[in-house]
């Protein structure tokens, strides 16, 4: 059974989410503040985390950042804020998706299913994929570059894996958005560029992922 952690301080919302998600067949655990939620996220294996931005003790961005230091668990961030900078901050801290309150439960369920499906579809029969100095262990989702382990978010991992699987192919930004974020993605247009910058920085090499001006990116 798929396990979901909900970190939300508004208990009526947390209870509603728990009820709806359990009805859909998920196993759900609630936390009502950042400190407790972080402890559960780090010490228990969950398939997905729903994380509110404005929570006591540790805010959602800090919780997300600390989770990403050791785990690649998919994270959907909830917030009443709708500014571009809030969304960018969430993605930079490692969130995989972002949903603004109030939202329809059907949309949240669809996003959960899509995110879990993309994670599942990223699994390969072969356990290891290699490209130059990059080694990706599919089963453990561990990425190493020049022998050093690289800590990637779920979306960074999926993007790097997809690029390497399609090496020598020039992939447009729209094509990458459709295949990594989903055809119904309606976020920022520069999301691919942002994540490419993150990958280049973490890989400490700009030559792995090359820019094809006016089109997109290629790994070769």
Q: Would you state the pLDDT for residue 184?
A: 67
Q: Identify the domain containing residue 45 by its residue range.
A: 3-121
Whether 37 and 64 map to the same domain: the answer is: yes
- Per-residue pLDDT reduced to its tens digit, 12-66: 999 999 999 999 999 999 999 999 999 999 989 899 999 999 999 999 999 998 8
Statement to judge: residues 113 and 132 lie in one domain: no
If asked whether residues 137 and 59 sit together in one domain, one would say no
Residues 28 and 111 in one domain: yes
Distance CA 42, CA 129 (A): 27
State how far the Cα of 183 lies from the Cα of 148, in Å rounded to an integer: 34
Where are the strands (E) in the chain, listed by range? 3-7, 27-31, 48-52, 75-79, 97-100, 128-131, 134-137, 142-145, 148-150, 171-172, 209-212, 216-219
Quick one: 50 and 116 in the same domain?
Answer: yes
- pLDDT value, residue 178: 83
CATH number of the domain encompassing residue 28: 3.40.50.2300
In the numeric block, which tokens belong to residue 102?
């109030």
Q: What is the DSSP letter of 149?
A: E
Give the pLDDT score at 125: 47
In this structure, the answer to whether residues 65 and 134 fall within a common structural domain is: no
Q: What is the pLDDT of residue 126?
A: 55
Could you count the other beta carbons within 10 Å of the beta carbon of residue 133? 13
C-alpha 115/C-alpha 125 separation (Å) is 20
pLDDT of residue 119: 77
- Answer whether 0.85 is exceeded by the pTM: no
The structural domain count of the chain equals: 2
Last residue of a domain, one of 121, 155, 177: 121
Please indicate, yes or no, whether residues 19 and 100 belong to a single structural domain of this protein: yes
- Whether residue 97 is found in the same domain as residue 133: no
The candidate with the shortest Cα–Cα distance to 157, out of 188, 133, 189, 123, is 123
Q: Are residues 106 and 10 in the same domain?
A: yes
pLDDT at position 4, please? 97
- 106 and 137 part of one domain: no
Q: Which CATH number is 145's domain given?
A: 1.10.10.10
**Would you state the pLDDT for residue 121?**
66
Task: Note down pLDDT in tens along the chain; length 220 residues.
Answer: 799 999 999 999 999 999 999 999 999 999 999 999 999 999 898 999 999 999 999 999 999 988 987 788 999 999 887 777 777 888 888 899 989 988 999 999 999 999 998 877 665 545 788 888 899 988 788 999 988 999 999 899 999 999 998 888 899 998 898 888 876 676 777 899 999 999 999 988 778 899 999 899 999 8
Separation of alpha carbons 189 and 173, rounded Å: 9
How far apart are the C-alpha atoms of 104 and 142, rounded to whole Å?
35
Q: Among 92, 121, 150, identify where a domain stops.
A: 121
Element (H, E) at 15: helix 11-23
Q: Are residues 32 and 99 in the same domain?
A: yes
Task: Say whether both 22 and 111 belong to one domain.
Answer: yes
Q: What is the pLDDT of residue 122?
A: 60
Among 86, 103, 121, the domain boundary falls at 121
Q: Exposed e or buried b for every residue in 63-75, given b needs 16+ CB within 10 A?
A: bbbbbbeebbbbb
pLDDT of residue 160: 94
């Amino acid at each position: 059974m798929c396990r979901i952690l909900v970190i939300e301080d508004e208990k009526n919302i947390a209870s509603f989410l728990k009820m709806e998600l359990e009805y859909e067949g998920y196993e759900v655990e609630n936390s009502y503040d950042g400190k407790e939620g972080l402890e559960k996220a780090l010490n228990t294996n969950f398939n997905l985390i729903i994380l509110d931005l404005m929570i006591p003790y540790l805010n959602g961005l800090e919780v997300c950042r600390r989770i990403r230091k050791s785990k690649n668990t998919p994270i959907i961030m909830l917030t009443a804020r709708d500014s571009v900078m809030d969304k960018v901050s969430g993605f930079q801290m490692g969130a995989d998706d972002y949903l603004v309150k109030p939202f329809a439960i059907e949309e949240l369920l669809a996003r959960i299913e899509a995110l879990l499906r993309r994670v599942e579809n990223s699994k390969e029969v072969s356990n290891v994929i290699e490209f130059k100095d990059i080694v990706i262990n599919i089963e453990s989702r561990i990425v190493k570059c020049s022998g050093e382990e690289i800590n990637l978010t779920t979306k960074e991992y999926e993007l790097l894996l997809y690029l390497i699987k399609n090496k020598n192919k020039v992939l447009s930004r729209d094509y990458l958005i459709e295949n990594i974020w989903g055809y119904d993605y309606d976020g920022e247009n520069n999301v691919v560029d942002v994540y490419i910058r993150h990958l280049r920085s973490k890989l400490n090499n700009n030559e792995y992922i090359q820019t094809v001006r006016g089109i997109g990116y290629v790994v070769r």
